[in-house]
Structure 1
Amino acid sequence: MTELLDPTLLALGVVVAIGAMVQSTIGFGIAVVAAPFVVMVRPDLMPASLIVCVFFLPLLQLLGGAREIAWRHLRWALGARVLATPLGVALVALAPADAIALTVGVLILVTVAASVWAVDIRLDRRNSALAGAITGVSGTAASIGGPFFALVLRHERPELLRGTLAAFFLAGTVIGMTGLAIGRQVDREDLLAGLVWAPFVLVGHLLAGPVRRRIRPEAVRRGVLVFCVIASIGVISRALI
């Protein structure tokens, strides 16, 4: 019981709730918001504990009606993610956490810059598979995976974007946790922290309801880009600090 009431875990739960509210609104964001704080306060819980609590949010979204999903492109993204996940597990076991974070952050920033200034990234099989492969590595090694597939989906309707990302995250967390468990990178403390944060995920999801009903599609698209940049700055900063 004392572990469940750990003030540090509860304080991080508030950050998780804010991230859940963002993700329920624009399609991703819980790891973007929470991961930098978890790394600073309890780096020993990364990435497994955050992946555990992230599982509950897409489940809530899909049960709550976010069922508009681009199934064909989702299959390409998930297939590529499965193939790339072992590399993410290997990085967790072998590479310094700072190096992983720095690489992921720079890659997100380059992807955003390309989508804004040079390349019109659209929803197709190639881009879906590429985003899935990158997420297989970054989502498993650093718990940051949403920005890449979100950028591919950002021109789609908000309902399709949120629904497809929810299905992607739900399957992806199972893939990531399975890989980490096989690689023996998950322990009891990781699981406990993720379960402690689960109620905070529910609170954030409920708070996002009124926001979703009022937000315009163009605002969702801008939000995707903004939070991709925030994600990159956050992971680069935590690597350098």
Structure 2
Amino acid sequence: MLYSSLELLALLIVTISIIVQAWVGIGFGLLAAPLLYLIDPAYVPGPVLMLGWLLSVVVVFKQRHSLNFRRILPAIVARLPGSWCGALLLVSIASWQLSLFFGSALLLAVWLSLRRYSLPLNGVSLTVAGFLSGVLGTATSVGGPPIALLYQHEARLTARNEIAAFFLVGTPLSLLMLWWQGGASVLGFSLIVKMLPGVIIGFWLSRHLERVVSVESARPAILLVSAISAIVVLIQGILGGLAA
């Protein structure tokens, strides 16, 4: 399989972004999507969603014996109506208005977390976070932070594994909606195949990183990625509002 220079650059971006998500639990879409879009808009959203989902498959398979699927189940179930509501909001409200609202709300959540305000991790909070993740992911393509912020005080591996389980089931819903709206061409299977080595290499490198960087908590990284996500969504809203 031959790669052009731009495809090799895209592969490097995928690999680095996979390392971040495999270590923290979120961050692949946030890091990879805007950079890959500059190389070729066809990478977004189908290939980015599929590559992130493949990482979830690998993480869940490797950690299946220690994964608590029962705890994350309320969030998984709540993502479906959340995605549906997000789609309805996109039809009824301008996307830039949604970006401003959700970006501000996400930034507020990060600020409250820094002030040591946090929600308990239980069925109710997981249901709410799963629903908001579905709404936010459908409306702005950034659905990880609501779940990740809820897991910020959990052990890093626990957070990563259960967030991966959440995306394992939730992402195919988004992919199905893409296929329904635009057909198989929107998913970009040829790009996915070429970027697949980045998922494998990125996950392999993240395993070595775990041996070198022995950190139990991913809270600082989760807060940093969530804050960046909020700023990116806010910028999208501001630019969209100026263009409207």
Query: TM-score normalized by structure 1?
Result: 0.84
Identity of aligned residues (%): 26
Name the SS for the 1:55 alignment partner: helix
CA contact (8 A) 2:33 2:43 kept: no
The one-letter amino acid of 2:31's match is V
Q: Which moved more, 1:38-47 or 1:130-139?
A: 38-47
Residue equivalent to 1:217:
216
Which of 9, 20, 38 is matched with 1:22 structurally? Answer: 20
Residue equivalent to 2:29:
31
CA gap 1:239/1:14 in 2 versus in 1, 3 angstroms? farther
The one-letter amino acid of 1:225's match is L
Matched, 1:176 2:174: yes
Matched, 1:110 2:121: no
CA gap 1:153/1:75 in 2 versus in 1, 3 angstroms? same
Residue equivalent to 1:194:
192
Q: Which moved more, 1:24-33 or 1:108-117?
A: 108-117
Q: Which moved more, 1:12-21 or 1:109-118?
A: 109-118
CA gap 1:138/1:16 in 2 versus in 1, 3 angstroms? farther
Query: TM-score normalized by structure 2?
Result: 0.83
Residue equivalent to 2:205:
207
CA contact (8 A) 1:80 1:130 kept: yes
Q: Distance in 2 between matches of 1:56 and 1:195?
A: 11
Residue equivalent to 1:157:
155
Q: Distance in 1 between matches of 2:135 and 2:46?
A: 14
Q: Distance in 2 between matches of 1:42 and 1:132?
A: 31
Shift of 1:21: 0.2
The one-letter amino acid of 2:229's match is A
CA gap 1:194/1:131 in 2 versus in 1, 3 angstroms? farther
Q: Pairwise CA RMSD of aligned residues?
A: 2.7
Q: Distance in 2 between matches of 1:212 and 1:146?
A: 21
CA contact (8 A) 1:108 1:229 kept: yes
The one-letter amino acid of 2:60's match is L
The C-alpha deviation readout for 1:209-231, integer Å capped at 9, x for no partner, is 1222333113x221111111122
Shift of 1:118: 6.2
Q: Distance in 2 between matches of 1:97 and 1:39?
A: 19
Q: Which moved more, 1:14-23 or 1:96-105?
A: 96-105
Number of residue-to-residue matches in the alignment: 237
Shift of 1:161: 0.9
The C-alpha deviation readout for 1:92-124, integer Å capped at 9, x for no partner, is 677665555444433321221122226322211
Residue equivalent to 1:84:
82
The C-alpha deviation readout for 1:23-80, integer Å capped at 9, x for no partner, is 1111111112112324445445432221111111011112223643333331110111
CA contact (8 A) 1:59 1:170 kept: yes
